[in-house]
Amino acid sequence: MKAVQYREIGRGPEVVEIDVPEPGPGQIRLKVTAAGLCHSDWFVMDLPAEQYSYGLPLTLGHEGAGVVDKLGDGVTGIEMGGAYAVYGPWGCGQCRACSEGRENYCTRAAELGIAPPGLGAPGAMAEYVIIDDARHLVPLGELDPVQTVSLTDAGLTPYHAIRAAQPKLFPGATAVVIGAGGLGHVGIQILRAISAVTVIAVDQSEEKLALAEEVGAHHALLSGPETADRIRELTGGLGAEAVFDFVGVQPTLDTARAAVAVDGFISIVGIGGGLLPTGFFSTPFGVSVRAPYWGSRSELREVLDLARAGAITVHTEVYGIDDAATAYEKLHSGTVRGRAVIVP
Ligand code: NAD
Ligand code: ZN
Ligand code: ZN
């Protein structure tokens, strides 16, 4: 089968021919219907050899959807031919966090060598993918896999970040979304769908800001040193009750800190490596700062239900598997509008 793999440090993704994998006991093989590209894939592929820990070759793709085409021994409750989305942050299934469905915060995954597909385990950017357990599949029903697949990360991650901020998202409040890319453009829609806040989008690209307004942002600001002042102007000097930073570099975190309201909430979702000094003299009184990771199993169901309700739509650019390298280049250069999706 064809697969998109990262095979050598510094060389970028390649389309290769590998064997079709066989599901072991308890595992499920999906024939992949769609796989999404995430900027985190570039984080991984940009790591120097001494920091790289995902194994080589690595089949990419941590946003996956497919139809069941083979069941390993002992798998029950999963329908052959059924269409599913893949819950990616695999955990042990047993620890306290996992027992609540919050496998993204599994306390034993590292120790047990459990890694998400595409981020250690073979990912979904291939004709077939092995899913380790039936609990990591969520039925798609009538949802179109190509339009939906990115909700498994670009939807789930902002949803999880936003849910944690919900007490701050009261009517009349303002939420800032920094980075209106794959995650950000869905985040804006989630904010509009589950709250009555005013949404201010911030990005360095005019095209992304146009998309942000198209999907529901009330205001769109080019990022720069004056962005926080503009946010304060738009909020009558108060600042924003919630700031979601989907970039996470030092300049955007500085903006977040300068733009947040007293008793507000900052969520650092982007893994740009910046730091946000938090303390009595560095953030306004009462501000909480969180760096969330992905989302829970029940939250993925809720995100898919938001899509079913017509409340959120991923703007997708669709590519064949042979064009995966081109799609990754576009993602790297910041010119993907919404999310790029591979259809094998
Ligand atoms: P993306 O490339 O689709 O979008 C990034 C957006 O940020 C683009 O619109 C870009 O124009 C904008 N941007 C970049 N630098 C900027 C700056 N200095 N100021 C303003 N805007 C800027 O990326 P994505 O796939 O949406 O991922 C966003 C971030 O979230 C990445 O860092 C990714 O690794 C991270 N991520 C984190 C989690 C998590 O669990 N915490 C999950 C998925 C992705
Ligand atoms: Zn991701
Ligand atoms: Zn666990």
Q: Residue 201 carries which side chain, given as an amino acid letter?
A: A
CB–CB of 32/3 below 8 Å? no
Confidence of residue 244 (pLDDT cuts 50, 70, 90): very high
CATH class of 156-290: alpha beta
Q: Where in the chain is the domain with CATH 3.40.50.720?
A: 156-290
Is residue 187 in contact with ligand 1, taking CB distance under 6 Å? no
Confidence of residue 247 (pLDDT cuts 50, 70, 90): very high
What is each CA distance from 229 to 71, 181, 235, 283, 344, in whole angstroms? Answer: 56, 23, 10, 16, 46
C-alpha to C-alpha distance for 175 and 309, rounded to whole angstroms: 23
Average pLDDT over residues 157-178: 98
Average pLDDT over residues 177-202: 98
Q: What is the pLDDT at residue 41?
A: 98
For 271, the enclosing helix (H) or strand (E) is none
CB–CB of 8/48 below 8 Å? no
Which ligand gives the minimal distance to the CA of 133?
A: 3
Percent of the chain with pLDDT over 70: 100
Instruction: Give the residue, out of 183, 189, 243, with the most ligand 1 atoms within 8 A of its beta carbon, to mutate for a pocket test.
Output: 183
Burial class of residue 219 (count of CB atoms within 10 Å of its CB; 0-12, 13-18, 19+): middle
85-140 per-position pLDDT tens digit:
999 999 999 999 999 999 999 999 999 999 999 999 999 999 999 999 999 999 99
Percent of the chain with pLDDT over 90: 100
Q: Where in the chain is the domain with CATH 3.90.180.10?
A: 2-153+295-343
C-alpha to C-alpha distance for 161 and 30, rounded to whole angstroms: 29
Q: What is the pLDDT at residue 301?
A: 98
Q: What is the pLDDT at residue 215?
A: 98
Q: Order across the sheet with 174-178: list the strands.
A: 219-222, 198-203, 174-178, 240-245, 260-268, 288-290
Instruction: Give the residue, out of 119, 190, 203, 339, with the most ligand 1 atoms within 8 A of its beta carbon, to mutate for a pocket test.
Output: 203
Within 10 A of 67 (CB to CB), how many other CB atoms are there?
16
Task: Specify the ligand 1 atom closest to the Cα of 180.
Answer: 9
CA 246 – ligand 1 centroid, Å: 5
Which ligand gives the minimal distance to the CA of 177?
A: 1
The fold of the 2-153+295-343 domain, in CATH, is Quinone Oxidoreductase; Chain A, domain 1 (3.90.180)
Q: What is the pLDDT at residue 63?
A: 98
Confidence of residue 8 (pLDDT cuts 50, 70, 90): very high
Q: Which residue has the tokens 């738009």?
A: 234
C-alpha to C-alpha distance for 127 and 76, rounded to whole angstroms: 23
CA 235 – ligand 2 centroid, Å: 32
Q: What is the pLDDT at residue 286?
A: 97
CA torsion, ordered 103, 109, 114, 115, to nearest 10 deg: 70
Is residue 245 in contact with ligand 1, taking CB distance under 6 Å? no
Confidence of residue 61 (pLDDT cuts 50, 70, 90): very high
Query: Taking Cα atoms as reference points, which of 222, 225, 94, 215 lies closest to residue 158?
Result: 215
Residues across the chain:
344
What does the mean pLDDT of the chain come to?
Answer: 98
Is residue 153 in contact with ligand 1, taking CB distance under 6 Å? yes
CA 28 – ligand 1 centroid, Å: 31
C-alpha to C-alpha distance for 244 and 169, rounded to whole angstroms: 12
Instruction: Give the residue, out of 40, 151, 160, with the most ligand 1 atoms within 8 A of its beta carbon, to mutate for a pocket test.
Output: 40
Q: What is the pLDDT at residue 296?
A: 98
The β-bridge partners of 81 are none
Task: Specify the ligand 1 atom closest to the Cα of 292.
Answer: 41
Task: Specify the ligand 1 atom closest to the Cα of 185.
Answer: 26
